[in-house]
C-alpha cells in the first residue's frame, strides 16, 4: 500500500521514473542490514493505522511522505535519526518541487516522532499510529521487543537494559501515551500493561 501511495503522491510533482527512484531509496533503507523492527513492515503498519483517519488530514500527500521518511535514516548508534530523516525528506521532496510549506509540515511530522509529545490533531494522529505497536496484543508486543533488542545487539544487557527502562518509564510517566480519542480508547490500557510487563523482565 505504501509503495502505491508514495509513487502516486510523487508523480503529482515529478515523473513516474523519479517517483519510482525515490521509492526505491525508501525501500532500500527499510531493508538495510541491522533493521529488525524499523523496516518497511513498520512503515506499512503506520500507514494502515492512519488510513481510517484519512479525512482528518488536510493534505494526505504530506502524511504519506512523512510515513515513508520518518525512519528513512535509522542508526542505533545515533541520537539524531529523526533530524537526519527530516533533512533527507526535505532534500528529496524539494527536488521534485513539493511546495516549501508542505515540506516544512512534513518535517514537523517526522520530528514529532522523537519525543511523541502533543502538537496538534494531525501530528498527534501520526505519532499515535507510530506508537500503536505498544498497545498490541501481548504476543505481538513481545515480538516487537525482540526485534528492537536485535537492532541493539551490540549493547550487552548491562548497558541495554537501563536504556530500555528509561524509554519505558518515559512512556509510562506520560499522562496519556496516546493523544487522540480513538487510539487512546483502543490502545492505552493494553500499552501500559505491556510496558509494565516488559519492565519486570529487564
34 and 119 share one domain: yes
Distance CA 23, CA 85 (A): 15
Sign of the CA dihedral running 104, 109, 111, 115? positive
Same domain flag for 41 and 87: yes
Q: Calculate the alpha carbon distances from 180 to 26, 68, 95, 153, 156 in Å.
A: 28, 22, 33, 34, 36
Q: Which residues contact 76 (CB under 8 A, 6 or more apart)?
A: 34, 151, 152, 154
* High-pLDDT (> 90) share of the chain, %: 100
In this prediction, residue 57 carries a pLDDT of: 98
Cα(first)–Cα(last) distance of the chain, in Å? Answer: 36
pLDDT band at 68 (very low <50, low <70, confident <90, very high): very high
Give the pLDDT band (50/70/90) at residue 184. very high
CA angle 30, 70, 8 (to 5 degrees): 80
Q: Are both 180 and 150 inside the same structural domain?
A: yes
Whether 121 and 193 map to the same domain: the answer is no
Cβ atoms of residues 38 and 82 within 8 Å: no
Q: 170: domain range?
A: 134-201
- Are 79 and 167 part of one and the same domain? no
> What is the predicted pLDDT for the residue at 51?
98
Clarify whether residues 60 and 102 are in a common domain.
yes
Total domains in the fold of the chain: 2
Cβ atoms of 96 and 79 within 8 Å: the answer is no
- 16 and 87 belong to one structural domain: yes
Instruction: Output the pLDDT for position 52.
Output: 97
Q: 184: left (phi > 0), else alpha (psi -120 to 50), else beta?
A: alpha
Amino acid at each position: 500500500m505504501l509503495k502505491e501511495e508514495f509513487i502516486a503522491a510523487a508523480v503529482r510533482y515529478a515523473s513516474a521514473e523519479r517517483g519510482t527512484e525515490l521509492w526505491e531509496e525508501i525501500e532500500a533503507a527499510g531493508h538495510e542490514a541491522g533493521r529488525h523492527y524499523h523496516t518497511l513492515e513498520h512503515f506499512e503498519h503506520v500507514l494502515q493505522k492512519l488510513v481510517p483517519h484519512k479525512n482528518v488530514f488536510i493534505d494526505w500527500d504530506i502524511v504519506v511522505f512523512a510515513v515513508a521518511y520518518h525512519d528513512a535514516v535509522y542508526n542505533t548508534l545515533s541520537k539524531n535519526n529523526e533530524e537526519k530523516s527530516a533533512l533527507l525528506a526535505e532534500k528529496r521532496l524539494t527536488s521534485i518541487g513539493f511546495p516549501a510549506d508542505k515540506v516544512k509540515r512534513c518535517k514537523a511530522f517526522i520530528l514529532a516522532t522523537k519525543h511523541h509529545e502533543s502538537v496538534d490533531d494531525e501530528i498527534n494522529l501520526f505519532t499515535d499510529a507510530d506508537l500503536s505497536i505498544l498497545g498490541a496484543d501481548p504476543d505481538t508486543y513481545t515480538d516487537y521487543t525482540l526485534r528492537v533488542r536485535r537492532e541493539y545487539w551490540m549493547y550487552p544487557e548491562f548497558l541495554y537494559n537501563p536504556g530500555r527502562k528509561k524509554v519505558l518509564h518515559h512512556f509510562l510517566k506520560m499522562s496519556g501515551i496516546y493523544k487522540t480519542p480513538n487510539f487512546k480508547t483502543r490502545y492505552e490500557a493494553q500499552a501500559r500493561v505491556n510496558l509494565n510487563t516488559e519492565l519486570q523482565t529487564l
